[in-house]
Amino acid sequence: MLPSTITIDGPVASGKSTIGYLLAQRLGYLYLDTGAMYRAVTWVALSRGVPVEGEAAITALAEELHIDITLPTVDDGRQYTVLTDGEDVTWDIRRPEVDANVSVISAYPGVRRAMVAHQRRIAAAGRVIMVGRDIGSVVLPDADLKLYLDATPQERARRRWLERQARGESVTYEEVLAMMLRRDEIDSHRAVSPLRVPDGAVVIDTTGLTVEEVLARVLEHIGAADP
């Protein structure tokens, strides 16, 4: 029997989104990157001129905003489609300004409550792989299988820097590493749902491993190496 609910947590650029998507494709499960929800709130706030530091206003926005995550609706390399009040913001939520502000917004208790309610509703249907930073510890602590992917800050910064270089962005590795360390500090020390290894989670260090090697290790843990 394959686990019906699988959570994958870990810091930014640890490989959890890539592995989560590939695993969902392999098993025929729904893939849900919960970080996309917080990014969506961040992008809408920025685009509407809502101050990131205004917790009450951001929380009200998160509670009112209708967010949908669906299978890809456009063949442009996306892993899913993100809609906010019906508008496709799939690529907008990956902008550098969202990277720089999403940790602040995702730390607000009201925002997290709003997003967690959506996440639990979706998970109740089963056959889902949910990826984030507090899924196995807070959102779905009773998930059938909990995974935690990690890598050194330097390795994670290198991955993110290469991604941004490929998109044609002018940014140095040192700048990306500094942002990565700041993001880790915020995520690990926030008062609500800090990033941590969930109880009972399988920890996999992805430093120096290829995507195929990480996926193989995950499949071994769920007994699906040869589905």
CATH number, domain of 121, equals 3.40.50.300
Q: Is residue 106 part of a domain?
A: yes
Name beta bridge partners: 128: 5, 30
DSSP 3-state percent helix, strand, coil across the chain (nearest 5): 50, 15, 35
Assign 203 a pLDDT band (cuts: 50, 70, 90): very high
Q: Is residue 118 part of a domain?
A: yes
Q: Is residue 134 part of a domain?
A: yes
- Position 224 scores a pLDDT of 52
Residues 143-172: tens digit of each pLDDT: 999 999 999 999 999 999 999 999 899 999
Q: Is residue 55 part of a domain?
A: no
Q: Is residue 177 part of a domain?
A: yes
Q: Is residue 203 part of a domain?
A: yes
Q: Is residue 42 part of a domain?
A: no
Number of domains making up the chain = 1
Over residues 195-213, mean pLDDT: 95
Please state, as a whole number, how many other Cβ atoms lie within 10 Å of the Cβ of residue 138. Answer: 18
- The listed range with the strongest mean pLDDT (154-158, 168-172, 188-192, 220-224) is 154-158
Assign 226 a pLDDT band (cuts: 50, 70, 90): very low
Residues 45-99: tens digit of each pLDDT: 999 999 999 999 999 999 999 998 888 899 999 888 899 999 999 999 999 999 9
Q: Is residue 57 part of a domain?
A: no
CA pair distance 30, 21, nearest whole angstrom:
9
H-assigned helices in 128-225: 153-166, 173-189, 211-221
- Domain holding 202, by residue range, is 5-33+97-214
